[in-house]
């Protein structure tokens, strides 16, 4: 189950022809799942209006930081995270945690409604075994100019980077264009990166994954490495707007090096 609280900060009606206009809207959602996981999300947007017509002109992200928290329990230490725009913190029953920062660009106003034209999302995870990772994605959205309905979603063509700081203090980073980028490392210093080409489709106004093509490369402390020479491809299927199946339409082929000159393919 979940609980949502909406905090509306209204502008002075006398400045807007006696009309009540929201200035800043902040939404807090707490979610509790049957598997014991929980999360808190806060999203804040600021509305700007034309000084004469009082019509909505643009929507921006407030400069004030938002703080999300998770209460402590017998299995989970309390945790918090601060960011702007839209932030989430979450944990599972074992104590593995993550936080997500999403920066939304509201690039269009259609029929008086603000539309998100880009969402830049960064998720960082920390697990109780000492492993950590970061995933970064940037998605563009396009709308029908008359109805305002979502028409398409696709990964942005620009270059993005994911980075983490490993236990020894070194930075592990990977960059790519038009991909979802992930980097990760474990307690011992083994590390990896992956790139995913996500293709989307719109079903009843919602963005859904259609196909995901993924390549991965890893470097281990014993000198062994692995790299994808043929990408894995997954297709997603839906019934009644819900995910019904995932089909592997192409297995990955991975070239492994053991550090002594021996090579294997899996």
Q: Are 212 and 160 a contacting pair, CB within 8 Å?
A: no
Residue 25, pLDDT > 90, answer yes
Residue 259, pLDDT > 90, answer no
Where b means 16+ CB within 10 Å and e means fewer, 155-165 reads bbeeebebebe
User: Quick one: pLDDT band at residue 263, thresholds 50, 70, 90?
Assistant: very high
For residues 153 and 191, give the distance between their C-alpha atoms in angstroms, rounded to a whole number: 31
Q: Residue range 140-157: average pLDDT?
A: 97
Alpha carbon 38 to its chain's center: 17
- Strand-pairing partners, residue 122, are 101, 136
The string of pLDDT tens digits covering residues 159-176 is: 999 999 999 999 999 999
Look at residue 95 in the predicted model and tell me its pLDDT. Answer: 87
Closest-CA residue to 39 (of 76, 83, 85, 84): 76
Q: Residue range 106-120: average pLDDT?
A: 97
User: Quick one: pLDDT band at residue 75, thresholds 50, 70, 90?
Assistant: low
Residue 33, pLDDT > 70, answer yes
Angle at alpha carbon of residue 76, lines to 70 and 82, rounded to 5°: 30
For residues 44 and 151, give the distance between their C-alpha atoms in angstroms, rounded to a whole number: 25
Torsion of CA 12, 15, 20, 26, to 10 degrees: -50
Q: Are 185 and 193 a contacting pair, CB within 8 Å?
A: no
Helix (H, G, I), strand (E, B) or coil at 14: helix
User: Quick one: pLDDT band at residue 77, thresholds 50, 70, 90?
Assistant: confident
User: Quick one: pLDDT band at residue 74, thresholds 50, 70, 90?
Assistant: low
Q: Are 114 and 104 a contacting pair, CB within 8 Å?
A: no
Helix (H, G, I), strand (E, B) or coil at 246: strand
Lowest pLDDT segment from 64-78, 106-120, 236-250: 64-78
Q: Residue range 201-213: average pLDDT?
A: 97
Tokens of 95: 């104590």
Q: Residue range 24-51: average pLDDT?
A: 95
Look at residue 79 in the predicted model and tell me its pLDDT. Answer: 86
Percent of the chain with pLDDT over 70: 98
Residue 133, pLDDT > 90, answer yes
Residue 264, pLDDT > 90, answer yes
Residue 154, pLDDT > 70, answer yes
> pTM value?
0.92
Q: Are 157 and 176 a contacting pair, CB within 8 Å?
A: no
From residue 176, give the alpha-carbon distance in Å to each of 68, 103, 153, 183, 220.
30, 19, 19, 12, 22
- Strand-pairing partners, residue 26, are 7, 44
User: Quick one: pLDDT band at residue 93, thresholds 50, 70, 90?
Assistant: confident
Look at residue 3 in the predicted model and tell me its pLDDT. Answer: 96
Per-residue DSSP letter, 166: -
Please give the backbone phi and psi of residue 160, each rounded to the nearest 5 degrees, phi first. Answer: -130, 160
Q: Residue range 42-69: average pLDDT?
A: 96
Summary mean pLDDT of the chain = 95
Residue owning tokens 């880009």: 118
User: Quick one: pLDDT band at residue 78, thresholds 50, 70, 90?
Assistant: confident
């Amino acid at each position: 189950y979940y609980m949502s609280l909406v905090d509306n900060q209204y502008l002075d009606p006398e400045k807007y022809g006696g009309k009540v206009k929201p200035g800043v809207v902040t939404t807090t959602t707490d979610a509790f799942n049957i598997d014991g996981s929980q999360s808190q999300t806060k999203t804040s947007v600021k509305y700007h209006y034309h000084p004469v017509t009082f019509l909505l002109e643009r929507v921006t992200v407030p400069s004030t930081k938002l703080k999300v928290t998770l209460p402590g329990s017998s299995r989970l230490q309390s945790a918090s995270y601060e960011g702007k725009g839209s932030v989430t913190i979450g944990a599972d029953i074992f104590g593995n945690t993550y936080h997500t920062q999403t920066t939304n660009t509201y690039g269009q106003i259609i029929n008086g409604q603000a539309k998100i034209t880009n969402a830049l999302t960064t998720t960082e995870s920390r697990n109780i075994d000492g492993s950590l990772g970061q995933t970064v994605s940037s998605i563009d959205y396009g709308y029908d100019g008359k109805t305002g309905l979502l028409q398409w979603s696709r990964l942005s063509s620009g270059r993005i980077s994911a980075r983490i700081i490993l236990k020894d203090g070194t930075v592990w980073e990977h960059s790519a264009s038009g991909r979802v980028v992930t980097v990760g490392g474990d307690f011992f210093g083994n590390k990896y990166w992956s790139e995913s080409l996500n293709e989307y489709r719109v079903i009843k106004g919602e963005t859904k994954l259609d196909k995901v093509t993924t390549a991965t490369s890893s470097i281990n402390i014993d000198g062994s490495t692995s790299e994808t020479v043929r990408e894995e491809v997954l297709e997603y299927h839906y019934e009644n707007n819900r995910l019904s199946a995932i089909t592997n339409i192409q297995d990955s082929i991975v070239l492994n090096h053991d550090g002594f000159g021996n090579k294997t393919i899996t």
